[in-house]
Amino acid sequence: MNSLALINEFLGQPPNASAHGYQIDHILEFCHWFMGALFVGWSTFFIFVLIRFRKRRQPAADHVGVRSPISTHLEFSVVMIEAVLLLGFAIPLWAKRVNQFPPGKEALVVHVVAQQFSFNYHLAGPDGQFGRRDALLVTNSNPLGLDPNDPAGKDDIVTTGELHVPVNRPVIAELSSKDVIHDYFVPAMRIAGDAIPGSLIPIWFTPLKTGTYEVICAQLCGLGHYGMKGTLVVDTPQDYQAWLKERAELSGGAQGAAPSPAPGGPQQPQPQQSKQPAPAASPSPGG
Query: What's the CA gap between 8 and 27, in Å, rounded?
Result: 10
Stretch that binds Cu ion, among 78-86, 101-109, 212-220, 246-254 (CB under 5 A): 212-220
Interacting span for Cu ion (CB under 5 A) from 104-112, 165-173, 222-230, 251-259: 222-230
Distances (CA, A) of 5 to 11, 191, 211: 10, 18, 21
Backbone angles phi, psi at 167, to 5 degrees: -75, 155
Nearest to Cu ion of 42, 226 (CB atom):
226
228 touches Cu ion (CB under 5 A): yes
The beta strands (E) that lie in the chain are given as 108-115, 118-123, 157-160, 162-166, 171-177, 182-186, 191-195, 201-205, 211-217, 229-235
**25-84: which residues touch Cu ion (CB under 5 A)?**
none
Number of residues that bind Cu ion (CB under 5 A): 4
Least distance CB 171 / Cu ion (angstroms): 20
Instruction: Report the residue from 17, 186, 221, 232 that binds Cu ion according to the rule CB under 5 A.
Output: 221
Spatial CB neighbours of 20, under 8 Å, sequence gap ≥ 6:
93, 96, 97, 190, 205, 206
Q: Which stretch binds Cu ion (CB under 5 A): 40-48, 92-100, 177-185, 250-258?
A: 177-185
Q: Which residues contact 30 (CB under 8 A, 6 or more apart)?
A: 85, 89
Closer CB to Cu ion, 124 or 189, in the complex: 189
Near Cu ion by CB under 5 A: residue from 182, 230, 232, 251: 182
Shortest approach of Cu ion to residue 80 CB, angstroms?
39
Q: Which residues bind Cu ion (CB under 5 A)?
A: 182, 217, 221, 228
